[in-house]
Structure 1
Amino acid sequence: MEVEFMTVDTALLPCMLLLRAMLQLPISSTAKVMYARMLDMIFLSGIEDANGILFIHFPIVELRRHLPAAP
């Protein structure tokens, strides 16, 4: 069996941050994924207000596009 290990030169796929604390909250998996998605948007294209606080503009219609289809 051939094994490949990660090194400092290993290219990583784009990923989203999910805080460990989120895993223990009594909320749905969908809510956790959407939190990670919004946090990702803040880091990638967050806008600073006059006080240096980051925020995002995420319209409800766009938010719905990122949710899994309802069963």
Structure 2
Amino acid sequence: MQHALNSRILIEQAKGVISESGEMTMDEAFATLRKCSRNNNLSLTKVATAVIDRTLGLGTLVPLKGIAGA
């Protein structure tokens, strides 16, 4: 249960980063995270972590340094 809570916190933080930097709503930010996750066959938590760590470009959501574990 703690893992699920930690994942949710990461996802919420990433939504905030995307929303602020990308000038989009929180719903649009989540849709962007989800699309990137699905398109790259990565977990939502991995994508969220990459956004928070700034290893994923926010403008285009293209990996800048690569995503660990990808």
**Which category of TM-score, normalised to the shorter sequence, fits these structures?**
0.3 to 0.5
Q: Which has the higher contact order (CA 8 A, sep 6+)?
A: 2
TM-score, structure 2 as length reference: 0.37
Whichever of the two has the greater Rg, that structure is 1
Higher helix proportion, which one?
2
TM-score, structure 1 as length reference: 0.37
